[in-house]
Amino acid sequence: MSSGAGQIRTVFPLPGNEAFAAALAEAGGFESGVVETRRFPDGESYVRLLTDVRGKCVDLVCSLSNPDDGFLGLVFAADAARDLGAREVALVAPYLSYMRQDRRFEPGEAVSSKSFARLVSATFDRLVTVDPHLHRYETLSSLYTIPDVTLHAAPVLADWIAANVEAPLLIGPDEESEQWVSAIAARVGAPFTVLRKLRHGDRSVDVEVPDLGAWRGRQPVLADDIASSGHTMIEAARKLALQGFAKPVCAVIHGIFAEDSYERLAALSSRIVSTDAVPHPTNAIALAPLVADALAKPHSSTTNGIRHRRPPEILDEVDRAGFDSFPASDPPPWTRG
């Protein structure tokens, strides 16, 4: 559903998303909604929409970098909007969480990406997000059952680099990023290379940096779609120094920067910038115009330009049964259950 003639879009921020929601409303010429949230003494969430939503398209803005803390309030706001007569309730989640657990890696694990997708799909009419971290899913539509608008921040990331970095050398985090970082480099008009990454776990990453002697004198720019633990960028920055390069500029779409990763990376970098998909002091690249433009247009879903972290895997019969056995009451096909 678009915000065409006769349709009013009202943008409500969930806590912590006020700046993005205000920028989105301004960029799109949308109405700004007011929502009251608080906690009862026992910790339960209270939500009240203070702006009339009857007959309007409601956009709830919530970057899901900390989903466990605020998801129930988000659900309550969506249900309230629908109960109060909204014609559409959309989730605008510049960062979409719960994408990493896309299969059962160990016996008994919850496939949380499917669980979370089911909850979101049951709550909203539409999902708008930026560069979701697709691992084994080719598209969000293979996971979410509601229409999705998948936007891509690589062009605005490239434009920031072109405007702010002299003689850049674009460096991708791993071999799977080659197509993604090459597109950024082409838009910037700069050379690029990619690292070789070997991950041993959530907090242990080995990075191999190729010989970059041919580009000595250029400013290295480490570009990635997400900095969560920050280990890849930290290790790459350390090894670039060993080859005599200046401290790199680090440019990311989703700046999570868990624990002390930002402080560690800052000591090795000349500058760290991120989009405002996740609120952080490094936010320097605004996504509101991109999102506003998408909300104002008729729905379309595209995955061109997404950085796929690995190609979809071909699963054997047993793996496929475990992968598809959600909800748990559905028997795997090979049991003839």
**Tokens in use for 133?**
């971290």
Same domain, 17 and 143: yes
Amino acid, res. 287? L
Range of the domain at 13: 9-152+289-320
Q: Which of 239, 264, 285 is the last residue of a domain?
A: 285
Contact 251, 273 (CB under 8 A): yes
Residue 330 lies in a domain: no
Residue 109 lies in a domain: yes
Same domain, 21 and 33: yes
Same domain, 244 and 114: no
Same domain, 244 and 299: no
- Structural domains counted in the chain: 2
**Closest by CA position to 70, among listed 91, 56, 99:** 91
- Whole-number Cα distances in Å, 176 to 196, 197, 235: 9, 10, 18
Residue 329 lies in a domain: no
Same domain, 78 and 15: yes
Contact 284, 253 (CB under 8 A): no
Tally the C-alpha atoms within 13 A of residue 233's C-alpha that lie toward its C-beta: 34
What is the CATH classification number for the domain harbouring 64? Answer: 3.40.50.2020
Burial class (CB in 10 A: 0-12, 13-18, 19+), 269: buried
Residue 1 lies in a domain: no
Let me know if 114 is a catalytic residue: no
Q: Which residues on adjacent β-strands are paired with residue 84?
A: none
Residue 147 lies in a domain: yes
Active-site residue, selected from the candidate residues 197, 239, 247, 297: 197
**Closest by CA position to 174, among listed 204, 201, 208:** 208
Same domain, 146 and 186: no
**Closest by CA position to 297, among listed 126, 176, 167:** 126
Burial class (CB in 10 A: 0-12, 13-18, 19+), 320: middle
**DSSP SS3 for 286:** coil
Same domain, 16 and 148: yes
Tens place of pLDDT for every residue, the chain, 337 residues?
345 445 899 999 999 999 999 999 999 999 999 999 999 999 999 999 999 999 999 999 999 999 999 999 999 999 999 999 999 999 999 999 999 888 888 889 999 999 999 999 999 999 999 999 887 788 899 899 999 999 999 999 999 999 999 999 999 988 888 889 999 999 999 999 999 877 665 556 688 999 999 999 999 999 999 999 888 899 999 999 999 999 999 999 999 999 999 999 999 999 999 999 999 999 999 999 999 999 988 664 444 444 444 444 455 554 455 444 443 333 333 333 3
Same domain, 133 and 204: no
Residue 241 lies in a domain: yes
Same domain, 294 and 215: no
- Whole-number Cα distances in Å, 300 to 122, 277, 290: 20, 20, 14
Handedness of CA 111, 114, 117, 123 (dihedral sign): negative
**Closest by CA position to 131, among listed 191, 79, 183:** 183
Same domain, 102 and 211: no
pTM: 0.84
Same domain, 146 and 168: no
Residue 325 lies in a domain: no
Same domain, 141 and 170: no
Residue 4 lies in a domain: no
Nearest 5°: the CA angle 49, 55, 59 is: 55
